[in-house]
Amino acid sequence: MYENFSPIIILGVLLSVGSLAGLLAEKVNLPRVVAYILIGAIFSPSILGDILHFSTASWSPFLTNIALAIIAYIIGSEVDIQSLKKQKNTIMAAVLGQSLGAIIFVALGLWILGSAFGFLKEIDFTLALIIGTIATATAPAASLGIIEEYGAKGKMTNTLLGVIAIDDAIGVILFTLVLGTVTEGGFSSSLMEGLKEIGGALLLGSIFGVLLGYLGNRLKKEELRLVTILGFILLVLGLSELFAFSMLLSCMSLGFVSVMFYPKKHAEWILPLKHIEELVFIFFFTLAGTHFELQIMFSSALLVFTYVILRIAGKYTGSYIGMLVGGAAEQPRRLLGLCLFPQAGVAIGLAIRASDQPGMQEIAPLLLNIILGSTIIFELTAPFFTRFALKKAGEIEGNK
């Protein structure tokens, strides 16, 4: 009698069923990203995983990291340099606004509900502040999935790509500073750790981006460009893990810089990855869905839903104020915040890092439950908000 299906069989099932679910999703006007996550959730241990002997926990991080690295590269390469120059003030104001909004609403909201009113007795100021900084992180994969699926193009799409490219850098810096302040790690050591993680990632991605752009000019065949791009992505991913740099930022900067040093048409450079893009999305989101845990959702339901509401309010309000300060027009001010709700790997990674700190063992289970439970909700709902905002902005053509 078998114990578990092999990873090859599981991947075959997820790809086959996931692609069919994507086709069905299009028929009922549902974002494909949501369909992929739902398929993964169906095969999670909480639903059919244990019954069917589907187990992905031991090997899926390897594949999801590769998929996320490719997604990060695509985001970096899709950022329009000219648009970024024109909108730099608006983008930076939006990034800082939504980051500060998330911290203020989540940290103060949880602390007030916990201390002042006794509504959430498990939350103290330290935990509330850490959760608030984690709330700043925006998952780029879901946003890119919607942009690519619906072919969104325009000023707000460019602004969104710029925001999610910078957002995680700000989030990691704020998190490391706060963590050093409230734990035994110390402020100065945490600051140095954050600067190393961000600065090292940007330097690594930029160096390899120059090399990749230089090689790209000498590769005539599209299939050779694909192999070369994937090779560089894997190399940068591996080196980022080796030196504890931010994988997302290193791969984003790889994509951004490589396009700068490829003087030919941007569409020509990114075309090879377009051929495998949907495969990457199916891999990433179905495997992400297999980590769905019903028990986590129910065990901390009140805290999870409170956090979700506060994070949405903080992201939206902060983004609106930031865009207002940055001089953005009324429509993007109202809509951009709706695109910033996705939460996934970065937030979970920050929660795990906080849990491993000295003196954090007592609150670690509660912290992880809140972040994991809310991630499930955001992964299933955020794509709808993003699609609505981009459609309202007139950047999705037709009746998609």
Q: Is 367 within a domain?
A: yes
pLDDT of 187 reads: 57
pLDDT in tens, 88-131: 788 888 889 999 999 999 999 988 887 766 666 667 777 888 88
pLDDT in tens, 369-391: 788 788 878 888 888 899 999 98
Q: Is 218 within a domain?
A: yes
pLDDT of 380 reads: 82
Share of the chain above pLDDT 90, in %: 16
pLDDT of 188 over the 60 cut: yes
The mean pLDDT value for 13-24 works out to 90
pLDDT of 110 reads: 87
| CA–CA distance, 143 with 166 (Å, rounded to integer) | 14
The mean pLDDT value for 320-332 works out to 85
Q: Is 28 within a domain?
A: no
pLDDT of 266 over the 70 cut: no
Highest mean pLDDT among 75-89, 138-152, 198-212, 288-302: 198-212
pLDDT of 1 over the 50 cut: no
DSSP letters, 340-362, are -----HHHHHHHHHHHTSTT-TT
Distances (CA, A) of 286 to 47, 64, 371, 383: 14, 10, 19, 15
Q: Is 168 within a domain?
A: yes
Q: Is 103 within a domain?
A: yes
Distances (CA, A) of 304 to 36, 47, 291, 366, 370: 23, 20, 17, 10, 5
282-315 burial, b if ≥16 CB within 10 A, otherwise e? Answer: bbbbbbbbbbbbeebbeebeebbebbbebbbbbb
Compute how many other C-beta atoms are within 10 angstroms of the C-beta atom of residue 134.
31
Do residues 276 and 229 make contact, with C-beta atoms less than 8 angstroms apart? no
pLDDT of 321 over the 90 cut: yes
Q: Is 32 within a domain?
A: no
- Classify the C-alpha dihedral 387-389-392-397 as positive or negative: negative
pLDDT in tens, 275-301: 888 888 888 888 877 877 777 667 778
The mean pLDDT value for 305-328 works out to 91
pLDDT of 311 reads: 95
pLDDT of 57 reads: 72
pLDDT of 398 reads: 57
| CA–CA distance, 259 with 270 (Å, rounded to integer) | 9
pLDDT of 230 reads: 93
Q: Is 55 within a domain?
A: no
pLDDT of 191 reads: 67
pLDDT of 236 reads: 96
The CATH number assigned to the domain holding 90 equals 1.20.1530.20
pLDDT in tens, 214-247: 887 777 777 788 888 999 999 999 999 999 888 8
DSSP letters, 12-24, are HHHHHHHHHHHHH
pLDDT band for position 304 (cuts 50, 70, 90) = confident
pLDDT in tens, 27-47: 887 788 888 888 888 888 877
Distances (CA, A) of 75 to 148, 259, 264, 382: 10, 11, 19, 18
pLDDT of 184 reads: 58
Please tell me the least confidently modeled range out of 4-8, 359-363, 371-375, 382-386.
Answer: 359-363
Contacts of 7 (CB under 8 A, 6+ apart): 56, 59
The mean pLDDT value for 260-267 works out to 67
HEC sequence for 61-83:
HHHHHHHHHHHHHHHHHHCCHHH
pLDDT band for position 254 (cuts 50, 70, 90) = very high
pLDDT of 189 reads: 65
Do residues 180 and 71 make contact, with C-beta atoms less than 8 angstroms apart? no
Q: Count structural domains, the chain.
A: 1
Phi first, then psi, for residue 79 (nearest 5°) are -65, 120
pLDDT of 317 reads: 94
Do residues 151 and 387 make contact, with C-beta atoms less than 8 angstroms apart? no
Q: Is 29 within a domain?
A: no
Contacts of 322 (CB under 8 A, 6+ apart): 93, 94, 95, 96, 97, 98, 101
| CA–CA distance, 62 with 303 (Å, rounded to integer) | 31
Domain, as residue range, for 253: 60-392
Torsion of CA 151, 155, 159, 160, to 10 degrees: -30
Highest mean pLDDT among 137-141, 186-190, 315-319: 315-319
- What SS3 class is residue 226? helix
pTM: 0.78
